[in-house]
Amino acid sequence: MIWLRSLFFQIYFYATVCFFSTMCFLSYPFPYAMRFRFAKMWGHTMLWGGRVICGLEYSIEGEENIPGEASVILIKHTTVFETYAQLAVFPPQTWVLKRELKWIPIFGWGLASMRPIAINRSAGRSAITQVIEQGKALLADGVWISIFPEGTRMPLGETKRYGISGAVLAKEAGCPTVRVAHNAGAVWPRRGLRKRPGLIRFCIGPQIDASGRPPKETNLIVQEWIETKMREISVGYKDDMG
């Protein structure tokens, strides 16, 4: 039954992606707030579908830590869950992502309309410069910037060096940094189809003022909090789904 539900949810995922990507693309001539409204609707639609179809219950913790101004979000990446959950939780935002995602038919067209910072991940320092320059302009326009600091999905319990671009951007823009940990990887494998029922805790940590410290220090604070929180909320789970 879990496999059947998981398969149905995957079909549901693709169907909703196609629909809402098309709506974002078609609303391109209109203000960004309207385009993001469709993206946010998709986030809520996916949260509902995950709960009803696969038993993916969720709780949002630390909403009081969300600043009142456009900020940089640094979030743990383990599954697809956090890519849509953040849409439902945070104000209008866009994302730092690999440019190849924009080339995917339908999905990429909608994604391209959402003002992403699409980087060539092999470009090194020039990619960081791109994040800073485009990110500052977007933040000044009231658009939040979401970054997966590890650059890729990580298996539950694993980590690697966090990229520095988000911390540098926050310092240069003089805006808060928001950190997010979650245990979605405990019920949703990094690879594979099966999703088992369970509670996903989406935890938003206290904001960090990045303006008064070196970006490397901010990065270390972010990584320590996220990885510590990940261990805390993943107790009792085992990523044995492959």
Could you tell me the CATH number of the domain that includes residue 77?
Answer: 3.40.1130
Domain that holds residue 18: 2-233
The pTM of the full predicted model, rounded to 2 decimals, is 0.93
pLDDT tens profile 30-48:
999 999 999 999 999 999 9
The answer to whether residue 238 scores a pLDDT higher than 80 is no
22: in domain: yes
Confidence of residue 237 (pLDDT cuts 50, 70, 90): low
Helices (H), the chain: 2-26, 32-54, 81-89, 107-112, 125-140, 165-173, 215-233
Please tell me the total count of domains within the chain.
Answer: 1
pLDDT at residue 47 in the model: 98
239: in domain: no
Residues with Cβ < 8 Å from 15, sequence gap 6 or more? none
pLDDT at residue 240 in the model: 42
pLDDT tens profile 198-235:
999 999 999 999 988 999 999 999 999 999 999 999 87
CA 74 to chain centre: 8
